[in-house]
Structure 1
Amino acid sequence: MRSAQQVLQEVFGYNQFRQGQAEIVKNVLAGRDSLVLMPTGGGKSLCYQVPALLLDGLTVVVSPLISLMKDQVDSLKRNGVEAAYLNSTLTREQSQQLFSQLNRGQIKLLYISPERLMYGDFMDNFDRWQVCLLAVDEAHCISQWGHDFRPEYAALGQIKQRFAALPVIALTATADQATREDILARLMLHDPFLFKASFDRPNIRYTVQEKYHPWQQLRDYVKTRSDECGIIYCGSRRRVEELAAKLTGEGIHAAAYHARLALEERQRVQEAFQRDELNVVVATVAFGMGIDKPNVRYVIHYDIPRNIEAYYQETGRGGRDGLPSEAVMLYDPADAARLRRMIDETADEQQRRVESHKFNAMVAFGEAQTCRRQVLLNYFGDYQAQPCGNCDVCLDPPQRYDGLEDAQKALSCVYRLNQSYGIGYVIEVLRGSLNQRIVEQGHDKLSTHGIGKNHSHEHWLSVLRQLIHQGLLSQNITRASVLQLTPASRSVLRGEIALDLALPRINVASTKRHKPVAFYDKRLFALLRRLRKQLADEEAVPPFVVFNDAALIEMAQALPSNEREFLNISGVGHKKLERYGQAFLDAIIRYQNNPLSA
């Protein structure tokens, strides 16, 4: 692991691994299959990039998007790593040149799409190229339970059949328990090392606003952040174009992005955004994986997403540099009802069940009366006992009441129903419904039938959702979202603990600001950003490939004056020192000598 530490410092410019990375790297170097779950921006790439530079041979990285491959390869090359991608953007001559480099063993990491990897006799080259590691990025795409299932990923399981000894590392930021089990089965991982980091992104503030006057709400919010970069997600192409035009009319540098736009226009918008030449992108979910821009300061969902996984992944595009970011969702129950009707019209029964379960969880997040971060993390099985203090519910708490008796009634009803029914049915029994199904099943004879008739349907819906959020109930997606008791529910049923629940309320946005970043010279930071942009333009790469905002802030705090001090900046390795160090050091020294020149 000393060699891994050296690679981390000398190539990537980091003094220490983040939590879990060293253990993952150690297992990969030992040739063990691995499944890695880390949040967006959590450092998944280093888990295979560091081993790739220590192993003899080629590491093949399966990646779903061309733009993601390019950004990864550009960053690796700036760090002095021989990396390449093979996709449809290469000319015939470029592809031939790349194959020659591969045949000569001159490439350490090759990024490739699953379609290209599985096409024809491509894998016949594995032995000649000495392929020593396969990394499957965005591994949730392989699962039928995943929110972004892609049939072309399904064929990847054949690789283990053909190359049983080839270690495979699968990585994803969004996978619930059913998805994780599916990934392991479909990729046929042998005795895998499992690492599940916390899904928490503490620098992101989660806020839900009631959707009253959406255009005015959006406009006012964006105008308060006119000098920052943001993404606005919408549910339709028409709305994307409408909002982009309105924002542009308000003097905001915004552009639309959706799948029906010409490829050239989509590439233009994404490139302008990556290069800090465009502040706001209004988009459908087509603006998806591969958005590796570290300084997105806010993500707005103008419409409710279809599932928690998509929401988590999309909000995770904010604050990848670790600095404060905000995730705002405008929530209207009518939007949720329309989307639910669309899901109910899905022809495939299993797909409909999966989508319905996931959408119900998304609605529960939007209507939550408990800490939103707890709701989000608990969905992924990352149970958090304490509220986060950095969401709208924590910052502007709803009224609480002693909910122990209500919880006991609800949990008892789930138990009496043999943990075999969903939320709606449980509520009907609690409220004493005598509909045909309940009578036929004999559930009108249960001791819990009608014990909650003094409360409304909405009240019990809120109670059950809060019990799910607090880890006292779970919904089994593989059994049509039936409610099931968790071990933690026993102490509630026995009355051994107190339990506060929230009364329904109207959600409002908090006016409290983020805790400020530690002091740094903002004029110097602005000067360094201009220098970064100039160097990036000269090399035709996004500015963050040179350095991200967090590194520039550290420079503006530490004021390095020589190469040794500059190497101590997080993200500065030997190659970046060699390539950019003198320019940034000169700029810092000039500024210190004459601050008014900035």
Structure 2
Amino acid sequence: MNKGVSLSAQLQKYFGFDRFKGQQEEIIESVLEGNDTFVLMPTGGGKSLCYQLPALLQEGTAIVISPLIALMKNQVDAIRSFSTEEGAAHFLNSSLTKTAIQKVKDDVLAQRTKLLYVAPESLTKEENIEFLKNVNISFYAIDEAHCISEWGHDFRPEYRRIRPIVNEIGHAPIIALTATATPKVQHDIQKNLGMLDARVFKSSFNRANLFYEVRPKVKPVEQIIKYIKDNTGKSGIIYCLSRKKVEELAATLQVNGIRALAYHAGMDSSTRSGNQDKFLMEEVDVIVATIAFGMGIDKPDVRFVIHYDIPKSLEGYYQETGRAGRDGGEGHCITMYSYKDIQKLEKFMQGKPVAEQEIGQQLLLDTVAYAESALCRRTILLHYFGEHYEVENCGSCDNCMNPKEQIEGKEMVVLALNAVTEVKEQFKGEHIVNILIGNDTAAVKSFRHHEISIFGSGKEYDVRLWNAVFRQCIISGFLRKDIENYGVLKLTDEGRNYLKNPQSFMVVKNHNYEAADEEPTAPQGASAGDPELFKMLKELRRKISQKLNLPPFVIFQDPSLSDMSIQYPTKLEELQGIAGVGQGKARRYGKEFVELIAKYVEERGIERAQDMVYRSVANKSKNKVFIIQGIDRKIPLDEIASSKDQSMDDLLSEIEAIVHSGTKLNIDYYLNDVLDEDQVSDIFAYFREDAESDSLEEAMAELGEEYSEEEVRLVRIKFLSEMGN
């Protein structure tokens, strides 16, 4: 039986598939022939099979080096499920007990184990090196190989030590696999692993079903809420750079009626895995996460991936957007972009080693070029990974759907290529642009480039247009970035030919993304936006308060009425976006208010703002959840305050805000400890019968001789909670 047939039969036998995907078969043959093999295959392409099947077919044990303990466990479980030999796969890492480690070693030495998964940290331990010297190793598989390169999006220094350790343990072929690698990263991986002569297999990076879009980051929370509500029931991931923003955004989505949960590395593992499982099981629609989320997540029907913050590199961006539409169905990739975010990322780099800063800066420049470009996003992305995409209009990115202005750029291209030649092909694009526009920066002066003939020769065009010209020269193949000294521009043969015979060249102008507006905040005072409506709302509140025999401030406070007169909410759902109005209050008292506003808007032909100000949560949303849970569990308030390192005064302010927003809290258990029943009744009666507002000053003037401010505030909380919520 020829090898091709037998490989297909083995695939069926071990994995139950009747055919290979893409280049899997050729890759497996390369490994079985003992070649060093480099595999570049996008997420979902079936990388793991490329080392699992040859490991099962060969004598000895394959050593699989992987950075993710959770993934190791999943793969080991999967292999064991279709192997008759219990010890066919094992992992060796810090999560195992001494007994478990000994069991692994016994199985490996008895040649029962075909795949041994090892974390790079475990590989470097002397005892493991000594153990592996006695093992018959079929080959080494290095998964997530981009971790080797400082230019990769997930660099891990311990990966740089793999080759010396392999040399120490004993020679065997190497297969290196990654889902994202630019030509620079690929070269880095092969060079570091000593496998420049490896057989290279590259799959296309084009994900035809994904739609790429970059939006100006103006009121991003409102944009996101509107998008999710327009796509109800669809699964999505929202990536933020900071844990704090993850929690704030998840809480904001929740209060706006969206089934969302947070996920980041700072959460305890059970909460984190619980949230992940709820997303996989469709108990929630949206996960708001840092980039810690998604490694090894195999949810095929993620319909949108939103980047609240621009990623640090295009590799990271490709990896994260690649989690959308893995079933081949719809996948919408939206990025919120503001140059302010880039400046923040640059600040984070300060204080890091110079080499690391330079790499980070170059990766950021590529990200900025992608975000601001008006060219086809797919073309730019694929070119970044060394793949040419010749289609004129991809039909599934914002720039192709709304083509941008083009201008004749022949003279600019000639000037750009001549400038690269003039500086001896030894400088990066940013430096050459500074020369062309006549910007005598310290770097330009230090190389005396302010004295050369081309200095200032392109000053009639701005930096953005020159950046667009250089980007398009690279994509058209006139220039390339040097691999050894990444970012330095070199002329290609095509570029030299263009200089000899310049042709018409249409340049697409880059976008001008202005700095994002600050996110709006709810009005703090009680000044009305529409005085007439404000007056009508107050009158309605007075009537309802009389009917219900409640003080008006219990129903809605003045700042809430003021916000209504600005926002014109005409539905209960929109009313929940008003300052100080929670879901409970909207349901209990809101119907007559939105009916009045809807009638008012219609009669006067008022055009409401397109985007309602959605309900926001204070930055301390996590703290509020903690407080509510503490009160539910009847933990004394002074203990809640001390556990959060807060004063009692600050804690009561937070509890008041929670109650004003419509959440009902029962603090009777605490009140009964600090006041007797008659005292509580006395203060409660003041607010029920005498108070004209919920003013603490007025209450203290009336009650202050007998009660402390804290006691009055506590009973006021009970009153507002019971009567208003």
TM-score between the two structures when normalised by the length of structure 2: 0.65
Q: Are the aligned partners of 2:369 and 2:467 in contact in 1 as well (CA < 8 Å)?
A: no
Return closer, same or farther for 1:98/1:441 CA change in 2, 3 Å cut-off. Answer: closer
Partner of 1:34: 37
1:12 to 12, 15, 18: 15
1:482 aligns with 2:485: no
When residues 23 and 163 of structure 1 are mapped into structure 2, their CA distance, relative to the original with a 3 A threshold, is farther
Identity, % of aligned pairs? Answer: 40
Pairing of 1:231-380 with structure 2 (within 5 A): 231-343=237-349, 345-380=350-385
- 2:177 equivalent to 1:171: yes
DSSP 3-state at the match of 1:298: strand
Alpha-carbon distance between aligned partners in 2 of 1:312 and 1:3, rounded to the nearest angstrom: 36
Corresponding letter in the other structure for 2:388:
Y
1:62 to 65, 69, 92: 65
CA shift for structure 1 position 290: 2.6
**Aligned equivalents of 2:447, 2:127: Cα separation in 1:** 57
Residue 447 of structure 1 and its aligned partner are, at CA, apart by: 4.1
* Paired residues of 1:52 and 1:108 also in contact (CA < 8 A): yes
Query: Distance in 2 between the 1:215 and 1:362 partners?
Result: 22
Aligned 1:131-170 pairs, distance under 5 A: 131-170=137-176
> What do you get for the CA RMSD once the two structures are aligned?
2.6
Identify the structure with bigger relative contact order (alpha carbons < 8 Å, sequence gap 6+): 1
Contact 1:62 1:114 in 2 (8 A): yes
Letter in 2 for 1:347: K
Task: State the alpha-carbon separation in 2 of the partners of residues 13 and 323 from structure 1.
Answer: 24
Query: 8 Å contact 1:58–1:129 — kept in the other structure?
Result: yes
After TM superposition, give the deviation of residue 426 of structure 1 in Å: 1.7
Instruction: Tell me if structure 2 keeps the 8 A contact 1:295–1:319.
Output: yes
What do the CA deviations read for 1:424-452 (whole angstroms, capped 9, x no partner)?
33223222345676567454554433332
Counterpart residue number, 1:586: none
CA distance 1:88–1:275, shift in 2 (3 Å): farther
Show the 5 A alignment for 1:215-230. 215-230=221-236
How far the C-alpha of 1:364 sits from its partner, in A, is 0.7
Aligned counterpart, 1:513: none
Secondary structure of 2:15's aligned partner: coil
Residue 140 of structure 1, CA deviation:
1.3
The aligned residue for residue 459 of structure 1 is 465
Q: Is the deviation greater in 310-319 or in 6-15?
A: 6-15
Instruction: Kindly state the Cα deviation for residue 393 of structure 1 after the two structures are TM-superposed.
Output: 1.2
Compared with structure 1, are the counterparts of its residues 225 and 436 closer, same or farther at alpha carbon in structure 2 (3 Å cutoff)? closer
What is the aligned residue count? 507
Output aligned runs, 1:555-570, within 5 Å: none
Partner letter of residue 44 of structure 1?
A: K
Structure 1 unmatched ranges of 5 or more:
509-598
The 10-residue stretch of structure 1 (360-369 or 400-409) with the greater mean CA deviation from structure 2: 400-409
* Kept after mapping to 1: 8 A contact 2:36/2:175: yes
Q: 2:55 aligned with 1:52, yes or no? A: yes
* SS of match in other structure, 2:113: coil
Cα 1:110–1:298 shift into 2, 3 Å: farther
Relative to 1, partners in 2 of residues 1:130 and 1:442: Cα closer, same or farther, differing over 3 Å? closer
Q: CA deviation at 1:25?
A: 0.9
Q: Distance between the aligned counterparts of 1:480 and 1:45, measured in 2?
A: 30
Contact 2:372 2:512 in 1 (8 A): no
Cα gap change, 1:480 to 1:167, in 2 (>3 Å): closer
Point out the more displaced range, 70-79 or 454-463: 70-79
2:410–2:502 CA contact under 8 A, matched in 1: no
Summarize the Cα distance change of 1:212–1:141 in structure 2 as closer, same or farther, 3 Å threshold: same
Q: CA deviation at 1:100?
A: 3.8
Separation (CA, whole Å) in 1 of partners of 2:141 and 2:440: 55
Q: Is the 8 A contact 2:237 2:302 kept in 1?
A: yes
Q: Distance in 2 between matches of 1:146 and 1:121?
A: 30
Task: Determine if the alignment matches structure 1 residue 101 to structure 2 residue 107.
Answer: yes
User: What amino acid is aligned across from residue 253 of structure 1 in structure 2?
Assistant: R
Kindly provide the CA deviation profile for residues 391-446 of structure 1, in whole angstroms up to 9, marking residues without a partner as x: 21122221222222221121111211212223333223222345676567454554
Structure 2 portions without partners, runs of 5+ = 515-725
Q: Which residue of 2 aligns with 1:43?
A: 46
| 1:513-569, Cα deviation, whole Å (9 max, x unpaired) | xxxxxxxxxxxxxxxxxxxxxxxxxxxxxxxxxxxxxxxxxxxxxxxxxxxxxxxxx
How far is 1:390 from its partner?
Answer: 2.0
**Alignment partner, residue 410 of structure 1:** 416
The CA distance in 2 between the partners of 1:229 and 1:323, in whole Å, is 12
Mark the CA change 1:332 to 1:507 in structure 2 (over 3 Å): closer, same or farther.
Answer: closer
Deviation at 1:340, TM superposition (A): 2.3
| Structure 1 residue 312, shift from structure 2 partner | 1.4
Letter in 2 for 1:493: L
Q: How far apart in 2 are the matches of 1:65 and 1:164?
A: 24
Q: TM-score, normalised by structure 1?
A: 0.78
Matched, 1:118 2:124: yes
Letter in 2 for 1:50: L
* Cα offsets for 1:278-335 (capped at 9, x unmatched): 3322111222533233332221110011111111111122233333322211111221
The 8 Å contact of residues 4 and 54 in structure 1, kept in 2 or not, is answered as no
How far is the alpha carbon of 1:252 from its aligned partner?
A: 2.2
Decide which moves more: 61-70 or 394-403.
Answer: 394-403
Distance in 2, Cα, partners of 1:73 & 1:436: 56
**How far 1:29 moved relative to its partner?**
0.2
Pair 1:342–1:141, CA change in 2 (3 A)? same
Give 2:388's aligned residue: 383
Larger Rg: 2
Deviations 1:353-374 (A, max 9, x none): 1111111001111111111111
* In 1: Cα distance, 2:302 partner to 2:20 partner: 24
Q: What is the identity, as a one-letter code, of the residue corresponding to 1:23?
A: E
Question: 1:545: which partner in 2?
Answer: none
Deviations 1:8-44 (A, max 9, x none): 2343343332332222111100111111111111221
CA shift in 2, pair 1:322/1:91, >3 Å: farther
Pairing 1:494–2:494 present? no
Does the CA-based 8 Å contact 1:427-1:460 persist in structure 2? yes
Amino acid across the alignment from 2:479: L
Cα shift at 1:174: 1.9
Deviation per residue, 1:167-213 (Å, 9 max, x gap)? 11111122223322222232233742122222222222211111111
Q: Which amino acid aligns with 2:295?
A: M
Give secondary structure in 2 for the equivalent of 1:56.
coil
**Are the counterparts in 2 of residues 136 and 171 from structure 1 also a CA contact under 8 Å?**
yes
Q: Does the CA contact (< 8 Å) of 1:368 and 1:466 recur in 2? A: no
Q: Secondary structure at the match of 1:155?
A: helix
Tell me what 2:619 maps to: none
